[in-house]
Structure formats: structure tokens, C-alpha cells
Amino acid sequence: MKTLQFPNQTQFYRGKVRDVYTISDKWLVMIATDRISAFDVILPRPIPYKGQVLNQIAAFMLHATTDICPNWLLDIPAPNVALGKKCIPLRVEMVIRGNLTGHAWRTYNSGKRQLCGVALPSGMKENDYFPSPIITPSTKAEAGHDEDITREEIIKRGIVSEKDYEMLEKYTLSLFERGKQIAERQGLILVDTKYEFGKLGEKVLLMDEIHTPDSSRYFYAEGFGERQEKGEKQKQLSKEFVREWLIQNGFMGKEGQTVPEMNEDWVTVISKRYIELFEKVIGKEFVPQILSGEETYQRILYSLGNLS
């Protein structure tokens, strides 16, 4: 989608997968594009309907958690567009893990028994449940790779105050529990996820998307125990399969590595996986909505008009 221009626009930011417009320094227009990233690199091909999938799952989950934590969202004027309050971002991502998977497993499998200052139990297998969910925060990088960091270092460096960090921990644990409950009703396990928060005045708000395949990992609950006993791979809904494909093709986002070519069949597979996750998590059929750039723009203008 081309760069837009809105009345009273004060800033524009193009992220890895989103275009974000600031209006009057008070509101954000966040467009979830069909771009896809892995290992903090934007991959060369867009994924059809990915933006709509992420935006609509996020809206569903934000509405389902307002009793736990206030959030930034005000309106969904178009399938892939969210409009909400501008907050001052807290420069930490609150990553929470219920199972030993992904980055945590790669760390564990290398022989390390600590992640972000959190002790990891001995004798675990890949995808095993932790005794209780663990929070493994990372710094929110402006560009490049986010970095693992300990709770103590966050507070010591003043990235987040101790009082605010305690609130983030409380919100993170409660949001993850709610996410697991929603997933369980749909026959899924919410394995791990991340939350981003900001402040509006003295109030901490949940920002961005939550519980989507770009920020979360889901396993199918049916057969989970049997697969663990047999040492088989878990059936999952997330974009981890994209990361695995990249690793198999010699790419992990490191300097000198080249992103492998994504052919049409592979792009279609990824799109179908995103749609599958939408339908499984939401419990409703995905209805593709294709709007012209002009119609999207007019819908955003109308929504902004209702705020002023």
C-alpha cells in the first residue's frame, strides 16, 4: 500500500509489517500490511490477507481482555486498519512462555540453563510445559534485532521504573492466562507470546496486536501429550514454520546470509496457514475483504472525523 497523507498528520513510521500514522500527536492509524518478517528481516514477498488476519485477531483479543488491562484501540475502520490512542511506548517487550519452544528451546539445547535471568529446570524436552509460565523480556529495538534482557537490568538501566515493571508483569501473567483460556476453548494451546505496553499520562496501556500468529505460537491440544511422549514434533499454528523453512535454507538473519527465494506455492501455503489460524482462534469463517486504497483512505478519514 502506498504512503498516505492525512489531515493533521504529525508523523509517519514504516515498521517491519505495519505502517503507522500519527494524527495531531494524539491518535495512531495503524495499517497491518501483508509484509512478513522473520529474524527481524522483512521477507521479499507479501502474504495475501495476512494484514486482515492479524488486525482482526488482534481486535478480537483486545476486546476480550479490556477487563484485565486498558488498551489503545478505539476503532477498526477497515479490515487491516486499527485506530487508537497514541501512547509513549515502554521500551521493553514482555515475552511470556508456557512451554520450552522456539528461542527458549534453542537456548536450552545449547546447554544454557538461564534465559533473561530466569532459571530453566533441568531434564526438559522440547515443547514441555514449564512448571509455571516464565517472563523473558527483550529490549524493543528501533531497528535490527531485539535483545534478551533481565528484569534487574531493565530496572537498573531505568528502561522501565520498578513500579511500572511490576504492573507489566501483573498484566502479562493475567493476559497470558486469558489467552490460554480462549485458546483452550478452541482446542489450542497458547504456547508463548509477547505484549507491548505504553503510557498515557500515568496510566499503563496495552498497545499493538496481541495473540496473533506474528506475536504468538499455538499448538493443537489434541494429541499434544502423545506427541510429547513419542518425541514427535508438535502440530502448531504460528509463523515458526516460516522460521524453520528459513533455517533449513541457510538463513537466520545473520550478516552475509541471503533470504531464500519464496515461490508462489510457498506464499500460498503461508497465506492458508494464517487463515487457518484465524478460523481456529476466532472460531468463525474467515471472510476475505478487499478494499481499494481510496475506500480504505475514506473509511479512515470518517473514523478520524468522529474523534475530533
Does residue 279 carry a pLDDT above 70? yes
69-80: pLDDT as tens digits:
999 999 999 999
**Which range is least confidently modeled, 18-27, 138-147, 166-175, 183-192?**
138-147
**pLDDT band, very low/low/confident/very high, at 308 (cuts 50, 70, 90):** low
**Cell numbers describing residue 276:** 487457518
Q: Long-range pairs for 58-66 at CB < 8 Å and ≥24 separation? A: 58/32, 58/82, 58/208, 58/209, 58/210, 58/211, 58/212, 60/281, 60/282, 61/179, 61/182, 61/209, 61/210, 61/211, 61/212, 62/206, 62/210, 64/178, 64/182, 65/175, 65/178, 65/179, 65/206, 65/210
Give which of 186, 156, 163, 159 is closest to 61, Cα–Cα. 186
Report the predicted TM-score, pTM, of the whole model to 2 decimal places: 0.89
118-137: pLDDT as tens digits:
999 999 999 999 999 999 99
Count of beta carbons in the 10 Å neighbourhood of residue 155 = 16
State how far the alpha carbon of 219 is from the alpha carbons of 128, 194, 238, 263, in Å.
12, 16, 8, 26
Instruction: Name all domains of the chain by residue range, CATH numbers in brackets.
Output: 9-86+263-307 (3.30.200.20), 88-238 (3.30.470.20)
